[in-house]
Amino acid sequence: METKAENACFGGVQGVYSHAAATTNCDMTFGLYLPPQAKDGDVPVLWYLSGLTCTHENAMTKAGAQAWAAEAGIALVFPDTSPRGDEVADDDAFDLGQGAGFYVNATQSPWDPHFRMWDYVTDELPKLLFGEFPLDPDRQAITGHSMGGHGALTMAMRLPGRYRSVSAFSPICNPTKSDWGIKQLTAYLGDDHGQWAAHDASLLMAEHGFDGPVLVDTGTEDQFIELLKPETLAQAIAARRQQATFRMQPGYDHSYFFVASFMADHVAFHAEALLG
């Protein structure tokens, strides 16, 4: 692992690190914020998964999460959104290829040699982090924005017991029925709709639910709301009687201005679950 940068931040340290990842068969970069409480022992972890076109940097520099994480004593992990490099397959469209891993393990050419973001985020990166930093593997939570909200919700529901809480900002809720999903799931997973269903938050909510609290925020003026399909997740939550807070925030769009506006709420929500 190589240290790219470490900066003092709200009494803690905002670091950026890279390493050779076996799952994605390329170098990967991630951000990690350690709050001041990490000097005294292991701290809980909140994973933040970013959206289309983003890297580890977007939320790290725009979401304002470090101030609230420092106050609560929670570490923040900012993985990248896809494998990257000259040898990694890509596409001219912004919503496929590098920057658009969709948090799945690709089974189709030319994506399958590198695009294994599910295994990277749920297996390889956690093993690295918990082996190198003062983090508590028994106290994890997960959140994300847009494509990352999709990833956070699906990981939380498919890995029961891993995360104590899950939240999402404007998540892609029903990718098997959306142009933000059908295109990517076909490219990465082929025509096996059984594999598709394993990455659809609305279908997973209806079938499995989540064994903890859920918080979802979406803006009423989100320019991509027809692609996000928040109503499908809301319906699944209601039908299952899932413990959840689902909010449509009036006037807000899809940008990081929206994310930053409600980040304090989300960190406090996870702090309650992680710290009790």
Catalytic (active-site) positions: 146, 222, 254
Instruction: State the Cα–Cα distance between residues 213 and 242, nearest whole angstrom.
Output: 8
Residue from 71, 48, 63 nearest 263 by CA: 63
Instruction: State the Cα–Cα distance between residues 69 and 242, nearest whole angstrom.
Output: 26
- First-residue to last-residue Cα distance in the chain: 33
Beta strands in 163-210 (DSSP E): 166-169
Q: List, in sequence order, the alpha helices (H) in 135-192.
A: 147-158, 179-189
Which residues have a Cβ under 8 Å from the Cβ of 222 and sit 6 or more positions away? 170, 228, 252, 253, 254, 258
- Based on C-alpha coordinates, what's the Rg of the chain? 17
